[in-house]
Amino acid sequence: MRRTMLVLLWMVLAGCSQEPEQAGFAGLAEGVNEGGQLSYLQPGPDTGLTFPEDLGPHPRHRIEWWYLTANLRTKSGEPLGLQWTQFRQALVPREAGSIPEPETWPLEAAWMAHAAVSWNGKHVFAERLARGDVGNAGAEARPFSVWLDQWQLESVSEDQWRLQVKDESFGYDLTLTINDQPVAHGIDGFSAKSDSGQGSMYFSYVDIAISGTVTFEDQSLAVKGRGWFDREWSSQFLKTGQQGWDWFALHLDSGDKLMAFRLREEGNPFVSGTWIPASGQVQPLDSGQLALSAIEQREGVPVRWRIELPEQGVHLELSAPPGDYTNQGLYPYWESPVDISGSHTGEGYMELTGYR
């Protein structure tokens, strides 16, 4: 899961030689520690979501990210995959709305941004880091914006965002049209990550129309397609013994959508997801309603998967395209588009961590 990368980022930028204290749900839920200092908050099933405030930063929480994946096509119909993510790692908890003085060079947060393009059998990736609270990286809820240097996602109207990224070998300038209300995962947005209570606040915009231009190897490609945007924050890291994260966001041609993940650990992995039907009620899924299994590997990474939702009559096979889709950053992980066959057809994205 991305939290592991953020722990590493903290250690690199803050010069810390030890991981942060890992406490259970009760330990992190306290608002003030024994010394009377502000401490991190941990969300729970009764936290709830507030819009548009929860699009902005959560400085009382230890970790958070904003995350977009997109299945696009060029004018000639060629598939093109795209990813953008920005992470915030708090080093010191801070009250919402309080603003440090940039001239003092405060180090209360560290930021990391990832961008990738997958096209024509090739995959390119870039990573940027920033010291927090000095202006070159940040996020705001009103108007919504997230930025790190010249990489930025910002609202241009009530239902449209603009995403701009430029790196040495690729870039993109995209318009994102939000077509539906956000989907809350888990219990009113609290998504459990283990049987013992660890979890995060998690919601998604799952119906986003995307158009614009992708620059790749000196080619300017007009693209159109659809995207999936995740927003997540917490103060807890992976539970001890959890080894990695397999995550899927799927658009089915029937109009239905599915988010599914599993956290690998000894014994049975922790499995969760959300079934988002084209019409009807959004349904949270647990391990009794959702099964994920890898059926083929490529150099140690599972690139074909089977996903089963028996109650919905959904039996899917997911396949990554040929090639290596490892994002070679501080913490390498796999991020690729997938094609869907079986009881339903469609497309989507998968992220796999902890295999390399």
Query: Which carries the bigger pLDDT value, residue 335 or residue 240?
Result: 335
User: pLDDT for 269-320, tens place per residue?
Assistant: 999 999 999 998 999 999 999 999 999 999 999 999 999 999 999 999 999 9
Residue with tokens 């158009």: 211
CATH architecture classification, 2-352 = Beta Barrel (2.40)
Positive or negative, the Cα torsion across 272, 210, 329, 93?
negative
Eight-class DSSP state of 321:
P
Lowest mean pLDDT among 8-22, 107-121, 176-190, 218-232: 8-22
Is the bond preceding 52 in cis, omega lying within 30 degrees of 0? yes
Whether the pLDDT of residue 219 is over 50: the answer is yes
Q: How confident is the model at residue 100 (pLDDT cuts 50, 70, 90)?
A: low
SS3 196: coil
User: pLDDT for 190-215, tens place per residue?
Assistant: 999 988 888 999 999 999 999 999 99
- For 120-178, list the strands marked E by DSSP: 122-131, 137-140, 145-148, 151-157, 160-166, 170-178
Task: Return the CA Rg of the chain.
Answer: 19
Average pLDDT, the chain: 87
Whether the pLDDT of residue 336 is over 90: the answer is yes
**pLDDT value of position 11:** 40
**How far apart are alpha carbons 102 and 188 in whole angstroms?**
36
Phi/psi at 323 (nearest 5 deg)?
120, 180
Nearest Cα to Cα of residue 173 among 126, 140, 220, 139: 220
pTM of the model: 0.89
Q: How confident is the model at residue 131 (pLDDT cuts 50, 70, 90)?
A: confident
Ordered alpha helix ranges (H), 15-108? 25-29
Whether the pLDDT of residue 108 is over 90: the answer is no
Residue 27's CB is within 10 A of a number of other CB atoms, namely 15
Whether the pLDDT of residue 170 is over 90: the answer is yes
With contact defined as beta carbons under 8 Å apart, do 199 and 192 qualify?
yes
Judging by beta carbons within 10 Å of its beta carbon (0-12, 13-18, 19+), is residue 46 exposed, middle or buried? exposed
Provide the token pair at 118.
Answer: 């997958």
